[in-house]
């Protein structure tokens, strides 16, 4: 699958490549970025971590604000950073709000007619993008983990639980844990999936844990106590914690006092998340 390398930057001794291609999943042009640490020689394959961004973001937000590259380079782990929605479709209503449509694909496959042709971010992240990454970068397909923030935390959790043999570990920063019960999720699921709430459950982390847990992989979740979206009941991490406890799922849930929903929060704790994933990605026994 052909890609065009749009930009390249040296960072933390490695190379960050921003790439564009025509997607068969979304039927649009898509952009993603990949960080490969230095000193990857010959035919060597290294582990990779997918990071899924939140509402309004692109592949660039994490690259520019998270400060994650030095820790990834330390562990010789690649980072793969997709966009958050299709771009350029100009579907009526697509750009009307920050929490639906452009920049808000919710990492699902839409089934409502208006959105179903292009809004297929689940297929893009789970199927199409990994193939493209493996063809163009030195990533070991058997050593992959996934993490994300907010909407992207929802994506990381649901994608891992729906594909449990594909990921060694999963983590999330302030994820939308129970979208079928919060305003963001209800709006997105109604628009993309329709009014039948039973169709929503396959993209709800709490419901997936209740139905299919426990999972072999471990989960790390960080939440800021001063996050305004947490206070507004958009995230509902306690519901996910309860589901994990009921199913015996290994979960490390950290309530971080005083932190909000921003990249100040993410940049503080992202080294710990990469360290967490590296334990499993670099363990030859896992």
Name the residues annotated as catalytic.
150, 227, 261
Of 1, 2, 286, which Cα lies nearest the Cα of 145? Answer: 286
Rounded Cα–Cα distance for residues 68 and 80 (Å): 12
Helix (H, G, I), strand (E, B) or coil at 61: helix
Nearest to residue 157, comparing CAs of 243, 39, 259? 243
- Residue 258, CA distances (Å) to 20, 59, 225, 234 in order: 38, 27, 5, 18
Tell me the three state secondary structure of residue 180: helix
Asked if 58 and 30 count as a contact pair (C-beta separation under 8 A), the reply is no
- Give Cβ neighbours of residue 90 (< 8 Å, ≥ 6 apart): none
Tell me how far apart the alpha carbons of residues 3 and 136 are, in angstroms, rounded to a whole number: 8
Q: How many residues does the chain have?
A: 286
Interstrand relation of 169-173 and 218-224 (parallel, antiparallel or unpaired): parallel
Check residue 56 and give left, alpha or beta (phi > 0: left; psi -120 to 50: alpha): left
Q: Which residues pair with 256 in a beta bridge?
A: 224
């Amino acid at each position: 699958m052909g890609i065009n390398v749009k930009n390249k930057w040296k960072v933390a001794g490695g190379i960050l490549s921003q790439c564009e291609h025509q997607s068969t999943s979304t039927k649009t042009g898509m952009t993603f970025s990949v960080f490969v640490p230095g000193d990857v020689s010959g035919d060597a394959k290294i582990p990779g971590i997918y990071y899924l961004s939140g509402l309004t973001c692109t592949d660039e937000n994490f690259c520019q604000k998270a400060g994650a590259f030095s820790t990834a380079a330390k562990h010789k782990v690649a980072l793969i950073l997709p966009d958050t929605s299709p771009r350029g479709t100009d579907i009526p209503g697509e750009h009307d709000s920050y929490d639906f449509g452009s920049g808000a694909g919710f990492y699902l496959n839409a089934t409502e007619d208006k959105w179903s042709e292009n809004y297929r971010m689940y297929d893009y992240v789970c199927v199409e993008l990994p193939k493209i990454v493996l063809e163009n970068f030195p990533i070991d397909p058997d050593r992959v983990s996934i993490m994300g923030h907010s909407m992207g935390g929802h994506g990381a959790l649901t994608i891992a639980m729906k594909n449990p043999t594909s990921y060694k570990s999963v983590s999330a920063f302030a994820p939308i844990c129970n979208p079928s019960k919060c305003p963001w999720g209800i709006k997105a699921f109604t628009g993309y999936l329709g009014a039948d709430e039973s169709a929503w459950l396959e993209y709800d982390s709490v419901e997936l844990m209740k139905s299919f847990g426990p999972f072999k992989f471990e989960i790390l979740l960080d939440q800021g106590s001063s996050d305004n979206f947490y206070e507004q009941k958009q995230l509902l991490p306690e519901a996910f914690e309860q589901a994990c406890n009921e199913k015996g799922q290994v979960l490390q849930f950290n309530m971080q006092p005083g932190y909000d929903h921003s990249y100040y929060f993410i940049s503080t704790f992202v080294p710990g998340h990469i360290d967490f994933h590296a334990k499993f990605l670099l363990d030859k026994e896992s």
